Amino acid sequence: MAQDPLHGLTLEVIVTRLVEHFGWEELGARIPIRCFNVDPSVSSSLKFLRKTLWAREKVEGLYLFMLREMKRGG
């Protein structure tokens, strides 16, 4: 069984890598939540995502999508 690619990663690492890959503007377009679109920062995003399960699940899903795309060379 393949290891969970999210295993051992903190939410902070996931958000930071997404921002490095997509930038705040693209991240906010893909997941339209206020903490990505209005005065975005990693710390404000973490506060929101830690208490909002549906948003955290979207962020984790986008991270997994990003990993797949990177493996394909996309």
Which homologous superfamily does the CATH classification assign to the domain defined by 11-72?
Answer: SAP domain (1.10.720.30)
Q: Are 32 and 64 in contact (CB under 8 A)?
A: no
Which pTM was predicted? 0.91
Which tens digit of pLDDT belongs to each residue from 12-64?
Answer: 999 999 999 999 999 999 999 999 999 999 999 999 999 999 999 999 999 99
DSSP 3: P
68 pLDDT more than 60: yes
pLDDT at 1: 47
Q: What pLDDT was estimated at residue 3?
A: 81
How far apart are alpha carbons 46 and 67 in whole angstroms? 20
Determine the residue type at 46: L
Give the per-residue pLDDT at 55: 97
